[in-house]
Amino acid sequence: MPTVLLIEDDDESRRATSELFAREDWTVFEAGDGEVGIELALKHRPEVIVCDLLMPKANGFQVCRAIRQQLQPTKIIVVSGRDYGVDRTGALEAGADEYLVKPITWDLLSSSIDRILPQPPRKPVDENRGAEFHPLSTRLKLWGVRGSIPVPGPATVRYGGNTSCVEIRGDGEIIILDAGSGIRSLGMALEHEFGERSVKLTLLITHTHWDHIQGLPFFLPIYKEKNEIRVLGYEGARVGLARILAGQMETPFFPVSLRELPGNIAIEELKEMEFSVGKVRVCAKFANHPGVCAGYRLTTSSGSVAFFPDNEPYELLKVQVADRDQASVQEAREFAKKERQKLVEFLGSCDVLIMDAQYTDEEYQTHIGWGHGSLSRVVSLALEAQVRKLILFHHDPDHDDEMIDEMLERARLLVVESGATLEVEAAREGAEVWLTPRRQQQAPGN
């Protein structure tokens, strides 16, 4: 569903516009003043913003300027009760795409949207697949954000307690990254959405540590004959992918074996590091993590997403190992530098990076060699790779909501200190991120 943000201080008029959009199946966010509006715009990155001109805290001109600087693809429609030429010109100069005079009707809005969006959002585009896909955007939804083991409870309600699972919808595909315990809720949501229709999806497994596969036996779509499920991953260190996934469903661990499942499930071991899922291009890279563990970079027509749920930076690890083995520390540093550079290149300029940031820098000192990330190293990696948005992932089971808040604040501070622009979020169960195509760059003249 396309997303709109309404920024309007008049509650009644905002509610009326909200209803117009909601009736057309838009997801609507609302802000009562300009400041909150800018905040929500950066958080939700809607396709369209409808913004009043005269509001407390930040007026429509200020909102347009702030948003235009940071959210190029978002279209802004300014609405005003006044029809002065100077207001119209001022709004367009500040970055608005349209200027409409109240009262606002759906006809007025929709013809405006048709004009400014290159391909206006429409309802279902792919009848065969039965899913509702938004042709303009790729949507990411986080269903499980935790590492190691699920930790539900009052201390983790805000960020969530389920283990690794991310859903990506783009270019007509449903791609699921990892089958941690978060996949259970995703399965229920898919069955609810599709009903009697077939669900066709691809599950990409990064590795078979339990926190990345333990939800699979509870993923409802595997129990329905109508569904087609492809499971892709690299071979485990000792046994094949299919055997590992089947193994956790054998007696005495589970009452229903994988063989008995009615759903059409194809488990395929990946041999190549580059492949496609429909129109989505996938590149893989092995992560620095015990056993065979891959990270993926997916490129859709709307942008790219990289997923490295478990990964340890090489820097300190290599030096420590060199120290222990009495090898050359200098050589170890060189090796680490090269490996890091390869990762920087792999992640280069991706729109969203979801990355293992399990430990604070202090905690990492006592967890070197455990296979997980430390906060400042992950931030510096994302900065170096010029990523647009970093999502801190694989939260430690011992970290409660406050602790994750603190880590997020620390990460954002590091970005500010660097002077660069990088959006940072801590992965939160239920959070959605929309990717919209970047504005076409104008070709330089000869």
For 218, which DSSP code? G
Q: Which stretch binds Zn ion (CB under 5 A): 75-83, 139-147, 151-159, 300-308?
A: 139-147
Shortest distance (Å) from residue 289 CB to Zn ion: 5
Q: Which residue has the tokens 């959009």?
A: 21
Shortest distance (Å) from residue 144 CB to Zn ion: 10
Among residues 169, 133, 174, 130, the alpha carbon closest in space to that of 25 is found at 133
Binding test (CB under 5 A) with Zn ion, winner from 147, 160, 161, 215:
147
Closer residue to Zn ion (CB): 95 or 180? 180
Shortest distance (Å) from residue 146 CB to Zn ion: 9
Q: Which residue minimizes CB distance to Zn ion? A: 209
For residue 37, the surrounding DSSP H or E stretch is helix 34-44
Binding test (CB under 5 A) with Zn ion, winner from 8, 211, 396, 400:
211
Q: Which stretch binds Zn ion (CB under 5 A): 210-218, 321-329, 421-429, 431-439?
A: 210-218
Closer residue to Zn ion (CB): 211 or 425? 211
Side-chain-side CA neighbours of residue 18 (13 Å):
16
Closer residue to Zn ion (CB): 100 or 287? 287
For 440, which DSSP code? P
145 near 356, Cβ under 8 Å? no
Shortest distance (Å) from residue 394 CB to Zn ion: 6
Closer residue to Zn ion (CB): 67 or 357? 357
Shortest distance (Å) from residue 426 CB to Zn ion: 16
Q: Which stretch binds Zn ion (CB under 5 A): 201-209, 213-221, 237-245, 360-368?
A: 201-209
Q: Which stretch binds Zn ion (CB under 5 A): 19-27, 80-88, 308-316, 417-425?
A: 308-316
Binding test (CB under 5 A) with Zn ion, winner from 88, 169, 209, 224:
209
Residue ranges in 178-313 assigned as alpha helix (H): 183-194, 241-247
Please count the residues of this chain forming the interface with Zn ion, following the rule CB under 5 A: 4
Concatenating the DSSP letter of every residue in 328-361 gives -HHHHHHHHHHHHHHHHHHHTT-SEEEEE--B-H
For 414, which DSSP code? H
Give the burial class of 195: count Cβ atoms within 10 A of its Cβ; 0-12 exposed, 13-18 middle, 19 or more buried: exposed
Binding test (CB under 5 A) with Zn ion, winner from 310, 312, 351, 425:
310
Closer residue to Zn ion (CB): 74 or 163? 163
Among residues 308, 299, 244, 239, the alpha carbon closest in space to that of 274 is found at 299
372 near 312, Cβ under 8 Å? yes
Q: Which residues bind Zn ion (CB under 5 A)?
A: 147, 209, 211, 310
